[in-house]
Amino acid sequence: MSYPPIRLYLDGAFVEGRSSTRVQVRNPADGTLLAEYAGASAADLQDALAAAERGFAIWSRMLALERFRILTRATALIRERAPAIARVLTLEQGKPLAEALREAQLAADIIDFLAEEGKRLAARGVPPRLPNVVSQTVARVPVGPVAAFTPWNFPANLPARKLGGALAAGCSVIIKPDEQVAATCLEMARALHDAGLPKGVLGVVMGHPPEISSTLIASPVIAKVSFTGSVPVGKQLGELAARHMKRYTAELGGHAPVIVCADADIAAAVKLGVQAKFRNAGQVCASPVRFLVQRSRLDEFREAFVAGAKAMVLGSGLDEGTQVGPLIHERRCSQMQVLVDDALEHGAQLLCGGNRLDRPGWFYPPTVIEGAPPEAQLQQVEPFGPIALLDAFDTLDEAIARANALPYGLAAYGFTKDLASAHRLAQELQAGMVGINHFGVSQPETPFGGIKDSGYGHESGLEGLLGCTEVKLVSVALS
Ligand code: NAD
């Protein structure tokens, strides 16, 4: 499949947006124009809301088993079409084709897990305390139509988490994917459409993000808001959701620490660390950022990590052998340069990378920086790019205190062979997800979510499904 024309998906049909605002999609690997499309107008958004209300009435009353059948028909189609979806994903987002293919397949796994759990949402019976009450049931019911907002770094997985949770729970959903990567989300919508999803159950709208979020969140149709993206926008949408008394889930940024103890398997920590750091060019919210290595092993770690970073092959995601693709936008490249220059001005040492590549597209090389002081922006601001920070620590107390010093709390990692140190890291690292001796904390079966400024609530896993439900008590007495 070449890059498809981009439409909105409204009330079961793929239609042109009616806004006069046009959106351009550029290939981040070379800057060429992939598509230009019209965004959603105010009337399109009202149509999406009316359709979501009708869709909810149908979908929430359907048997869970029937919903499961439609969702798993859709995931079979996603798997069948994964090579074509992956190509679209790489064209618009830039990541290597092999990563894009894995992402499309994982998106199907995410929805499958949620669809399975959707069949098992059993009610709980509570023994009555009043003599004439014959049953007290605590049921999990769909929360209502959901407004979902996803960013550009995982164009298939992030919609899969939001659509999978909402649809498996019996909710209708209007999703606004990031405008740059909407084609991947639309391919997932097409799979759901082809699998027989009833009209109105899903809407896909793009355009002017603040207009879309303020319209959807304020609408009485919408019961729940789910956002993935930056902390400032997440807080803004949280305020809006609170004003309108909407349920809210937020998956925001991180600045993940990695504590490498002297007793750790350094070769494994380096190998896994390089892979995890530069996956998707570092544009991952759970990406490791601050590598804190116990002083006695720092030289060994540094040498191997920098060699690993330098060996990464940069290029277009469509080229065979590419390990690191471009960044998503020109402005992300400029932001990397600002952060690196600021760290160097604060006395940090550049070990590799550090300068934007002089070639078409938005390429920034794997970059390793040592000794950036706490005042440097990089020690506080999420780089969301291919930059690793390296520092020494002396005691575990000190490392844990430094790891926890930021307002973020998404993912944190530790490498050690010592059971007591592993236990301390698991207990004391302030994060929604802690990985000991590996980085694989994001799986379809496990909840994904952060604490502190990194978010509120969870997606994926059983928790992702429960987040799209409401608790309802029904107490029945004999009359
Ligand atoms: P950004 O905050 O401008 O945009 C991030 C996403 O939020 C985009 O998809 C955008 O369309 C959407 N958005 C922005 N304003 C919105 C609004 N008012 N209503 C609804 N949606 C809105 O940031 P950016 O420059 O594209 O990316 C940089 C930052 O974004 C990074 O520093 C990183 O923290 C964050 N980010 C986080 C994730 C994540 O998975 N947590 C993903 C992508 C970006």
Ligand 1 geometric centre to CA of 19 (Å): 22
pLDDT in tens, 39-95: 999 999 999 999 999 999 999 999 999 999 999 999 999 999 999 999 999 999 999
Indicate which atom in ligand 1 lies nearest the CA of residue 230.
35
Pocket mutation for ligand 1, best pick of 227, 228, 230, 235 (most atoms within 8 Å of C-beta): 230
Model confidence at 2, pLDDT cuts 50, 70, 90, reads confident
Q: Would you state the pLDDT for residue 10?
A: 98
Q: Note whether 417 and 375 are within 8 A (CB).
A: no
d(CA 236, CA 171): 24
Rounded to 5°, angle at Cα 5 from 198 and 100 = 80
Give nearest CA residue, ligand 1 atom 17: 210
Residue from 171, 185, 285, 333 carrying the catalytic annotation: 285
pLDDT tens figures, 230-257: 999 999 999 999 999 999 999 999 999 9
Query: What is the CA(87)–ligand 1 centre distance, in A?
Result: 23
Instruction: Tell me what the mean pLDDT of segment 409-424 comes to.
Output: 98
395-408 as b/e: b if 16+ CB within 10 A: ebeebbebbbebeb
Domains and CATH numbers, the chain: 8-253+453-476 (3.40.605.10), 256-405+411-443 (3.40.309.10)
Residue closest by Cα to atom 27 of ligand 1? 230
- Cα angle 225, 229, 234 (rounded to 5 degrees) comes to 55
Give which of 195, 197, 137 is closest to 173, Cα–Cα.
Answer: 197
What would the pLDDT profile of 253-292 be if each residue is shown by its tens digit?
999 999 999 999 999 999 999 999 999 999 999 999 999 9
The pLDDT value recorded for residue 261 is 98
SS (H, E, C) 376-413: CHHHCCCCCCCEEEEEEECCHHHHHHHHCCCCCCCEEE
Q: Give the distance, in angstroms, between the CA of residue 128 and the centroid of all CA atoms in the same chain.
A: 42
**CA 348–ligand 1 middle distance (angstroms):** 28
Which token pair is 352?
Answer: 């590799």
Whether residue 251 lies in the annotated active site: yes
- Quick one: CA torsion of 402, 403, 408, 414, rounded to 10 degrees? 180
| Span from the CA of 358 to the centroid of ligand 1 (angstroms) | 26
Strands 202-204 and 349-352: unpaired
Q: Which atom of ligand 1 is nearest to the CA of 328?
A: 26
pLDDT value at residue 1: 62
Ligand 1 atom, smallest distance to 284 CA: 40
The count of residues in the chain is 479
Which contiguous run of DSSP H or E holds residue 125?
strand 124-125
Distance 314 CA to ligand 1 centre (A): 24
Within 13 Å of residue 77, how many CA atoms lie on the same side as its CB? 17
For 119-166, how does the pLDDT look when each residue is reduced to its tens digit (9 = 90+)?
999 899 999 999 999 999 999 999 999 999 999 999 999 999 999 999
Q: Which residues, listed in sequence order, are joined to residue 227 by a DSSP beta bridge?
A: 149, 250
Protein residue closest via CA to atom 38 of ligand 1: 229
Which residue's C-alpha comes closest to atom 25 of ligand 1?
Answer: 332
Q: What is the mean pLDDT of residues 371-378?
A: 98
Both structure tokens of 193: 């459409």
- Residue 265 burial class via C-beta count within 10 angstroms: exposed 0-12, middle 13-18, buried 19 and up: middle
Ligand 1 mean position to 349 CA, how many Å? Answer: 30
**Mean per-residue pLDDT, 437-451:** 98
Closest C-alpha residue for ligand 1 atom 3: 230
Measured in whole angstroms, the distance separating CA 436 from the mean position of its chain's CA atoms is 21
Task: Give whole-number Cα distances, 413 to 290, 311, 419, 433, in Å.
Answer: 10, 23, 15, 8
Distance 233 CA to ligand 1 centre (A): 7
Give the per-residue pLDDT at 16: 98
Buried b (16+ CB within 10 A) or exposed e, 301-336: bbebbbebbeebebbbbbeeebbbbbbbeeebbebb
The pLDDT score that the predictor gives to residue 437 is 98
> Catalytic annotation on 333?
no
Residue 382 has pLDDT above 90, yes or no: yes
Distance 178 CA to ligand 1 centre (A): 8
Ligand 1, atom 9, residue with closest C-alpha:
151
Catalytic one of 179, 187, 251, 370: 251
Alpha carbon nearest to ligand 1 atom 39, residue: 229
Q: CB within 6 Å of ligand 1 — which residues?
A: 149, 151-153, 178, 209-210, 213, 228-230, 233, 237, 251-253, 285, 382, 384
Give the pLDDT of residue 7.
98
Nearest CA to ligand 1 atom 37: 229
**Ligand 1 atom nearest to 178, measured from its CA:** 9
